[in-house]
Chains A and B, each alone.
Chain A
Amino acid sequence: MTGEAMKELMQEKSMAFRIGPSLFSGWKALSHIPFELSRRRAQHPCILHRDDEEGAYLTRALRSCLKQEGISAVSLTEAMELPGEHDSIIAAGRGSVQRRAKQLAAPEIPLFSVLSDIQDCREAGRDEGLRHPDAVFIDPASFQPCITKLTADSALTALAVCTEALQQDRIHSLLYSIVRTGLKFLHQGAPWDGSMESRLCTANACAAAALVRSNSPPGAVTSVSEALHASAFCLRSEASAALLPPLVQAMVNRQCSSLEILSREIGNGAAYILDILEGLRKPSGCDARQSDILHFAFNTFQTSKKNHAGQILDLFSTIDEGAQS
């Protein structure tokens, strides 16, 4: 084999990909837990949950499922210390509980995550250097009575993560397939009317987005959204909804090859993403402050070139062109 051919082969076949947890989703997904515990030789799980209604709801569903198989579990809130006699942790709920569980769980202890449709798209993946859970369970039976706005918020965050991963010009096929799966779930979830189908689609899309996040660095939209969210200017999803259209426009202008791959599969990739976004605007209530958010983001980040400077400037030049026109 010539040097050139070898180089080409290495470029195509070489990769690094972080495989995520086992994912069990759909009706009766929680029934997998006793078997998965036993497979990992764990019999005394400790349930970690938020000290609120959602935490109580998930814990009740989980306890009833464990009781059927004769397993008793200790339950505690995220603020409490872990008891001595536990051999596994089941974290039930969104972001903060999952992060706390990842910090608490020793590497040899199995860590399970029970998620609902309200996620920040980090729960199922590696979260800023922390471990990922061994198994993730998404069961519609454990979803709290519907809060459509929160579901739409989660879906918007997932959409931002998946869209940003497509910015990479040489996206790996494994990552691409997960991005594609996430977008497909989001598209299937429309209209976001609080039906169980759309909620399950959102939960699955968020889990896919968490795997994408583990393998793809956050881009401009995610970084800016998180900064705006931290400064309490707006919700993460509101910022994502405002910044996604210029991002997609920038990707089209740049003739981004990953977006072209998506377009080859489904027609117009950009229109597909914007279609999902439009479906999400109304239930999430993200329309009202869009121009405020754009201006705030533009003013705040135009001078700050520390992170993702190229991407952010690219994004804001598109916003600027849009504003001028």
Chain B
Amino acid sequence: MVKEQCMGTAASRIYLSLLFWVTGRAVQAAWRTDREVRREFDRLPDLFSFRLSVYPSGPGLTIMKKEGTVRYIRQGEEGPADLHMMIKSLSHGMSLFTFQESTALSASRGRIAIYGDLSYACSIVRVLDRVEIYLLPRVIAKRAVKRYESPPAKHRKRFMIYLRVLFSP
């Protein structure tokens, strides 16, 4: 049973690492492609950094706004973040990122701890919702976000975002 649990934990870590990598790069790509995402980042100060991670030493992603551009930073290269959203356990992370619960529901159930300014957190959650709408099929995205709003020219932008996730530096 313990061995099965360890394997389950390892699989969860791999899944979440992959998902964080895709999401991090997708945020960077969405900032270049989508006007709404760019507007949200414009409201944030320069040198603003955001980190989403799983407690205690699970996978994570860091996004930084520096000199007007938004960059995804790989794990290990980041410093302390201005806004840190910490998912309290791996199993909570799996509920959130297998889209059984939306970000808002997860936060209301106390599964996410937020360190930093709450207004920045609201902006970042809106960005993540927007990115999920681009990344996921409609059926799944509806479960993952609080309110599903189809953006204009969604399919063209989705294609661009996927290209940039895979090939942009």
How many residues from A make CB contacts under 8 Å with B? 13
Task: Report if A77 contacts B (CB, 8 A).
Answer: no
Asked if A31 meets B91 with Cβ closer than 8 Å, knowing A64-B5, A68-B9, A69-B56, the reply is yes
Within 8 A of A (CB), among B9-60: 9, 55-56
A68 contacts B91, C-beta separation under 8 Å: yes
B55 contacts A28, C-beta separation under 8 Å: no
Task: Report if B75 contacts A (CB, 8 A).
Answer: no
CA distance A34 to B1 in the complex (A): 20
Chain A residues, Cβ within 8 Å of B9: 68
Task: Report if B90 contacts A (CB, 8 A).
Answer: yes
Partner among A26, A64, A67, A68 whose Cβ is within 8 Å of the Cβ of B89? A68
A32 contacts B5, C-beta separation under 8 Å: no
Query: Which of A31, A34, A64 gathers the greatest number of chain B CB atoms within 10 Å?
Result: A31
B91 contacts A32, C-beta separation under 8 Å: no
CA distance A26 to B108 in the complex (A): 12
Say which size band chain B's interface belongs to.
Answer: 10 to 19
Give the Cβ gap from B1 to chain A, nearest Cβ, in Å: 8
Give the Cβ gap from A23 to chain B, nearest Cβ, in Å: 9
Give the Cβ gap from A204 to chain B, nearest Cβ, in Å: 13
Task: Report if B88 contacts A (CB, 8 A).
Answer: yes
Give the secondary structure class of A's interface. helix
Asked if A35 meets B5 with Cβ closer than 8 Å, knowing A24-B110, A28-B95, A69-B56, the reply is no
Chain B residues, Cβ within 8 Å of A38: 55-56
Partner among B1, B2, B55 whose Cβ is within 8 Å of the Cβ of A35? B55
Asked if A35 meets B89 with Cβ closer than 8 Å, knowing A64-B5, A67-B2, A68-B5, the reply is yes
Chain A residues, Cβ within 8 Å of B89: 28, 31-32, 34-35, 68-69
Give the Cβ gap from A181 to chain B, nearest Cβ, in Å: 16
A67 contacts B5, C-beta separation under 8 Å: yes
B5 contacts A34, C-beta separation under 8 Å: no
Chain B residues, Cβ within 8 Å of A64: 1, 5
CA distance A67 to B90 in the complex (A): 12
Within 8 A of B (CB), among A55-108: 64, 67-70
Task: Report if B113 contacts A (CB, 8 A).
Answer: yes
B88 contacts A31, C-beta separation under 8 Å: yes
B90 contacts A35, C-beta separation under 8 Å: no
1/0 per residue, CB under 8 A from B, across A18-42: the answer is 0000001010100110110010000
A26 contacts B55, C-beta separation under 8 Å: no
B91 contacts A28, C-beta separation under 8 Å: yes
Within 8 A of B (CB), among A1-51: 24, 26, 28, 31-32, 34-35, 38
Chain A residues, Cβ within 8 Å of B109: 26
Chain B residues, Cβ within 8 Å of A68: 5, 9, 89-91
B88 contacts A32, C-beta separation under 8 Å: yes
Within 8 A of A (CB), among B81-118: 86, 88-92, 95, 109-111, 113
CA distance A288 to B75 in the complex (A): 66
B56 contacts A32, C-beta separation under 8 Å: no
B56 contacts A34, C-beta separation under 8 Å: yes
Chain A residues, Cβ within 8 Å of B1: 64
Chain B residues, Cβ within 8 Å of A26: 109
**Least CB separation from B94: chain A residue:** A28
CA distance A176 to B101 in the complex (A): 31
1/0 per residue, CB under 8 A from A, across B99-139: the answer is 00000000001110100000000000000000000000000
Chain B residues, Cβ within 8 Å of A34: 55-56, 88-89
CA distance A31 to B89 in the complex (A): 6
Give the Cβ gap from A313 to chain B, nearest Cβ, in Å: 46
Partner among A32, A67, A69, A70 whose Cβ is within 8 Å of the Cβ of B110? A32
**Least CB separation from A39: chain B residue:** B113
CA distance A24 to B113 in the complex (A): 14
Closest 3 pairs between A and B when the two form their complex, measured CB to CB: A31-B89, A35-B88, A31-B91
**What is A's interface to B at a CB cutoff of 8 Å?**
24, 26, 28, 31-32, 34-35, 38, 64, 67-70
List 7 A-B pairs, Cβ < 8 Å.
A26-B109, A28-B92, A31-B88, A32-B110, A32-B111, A68-B90, A69-B56
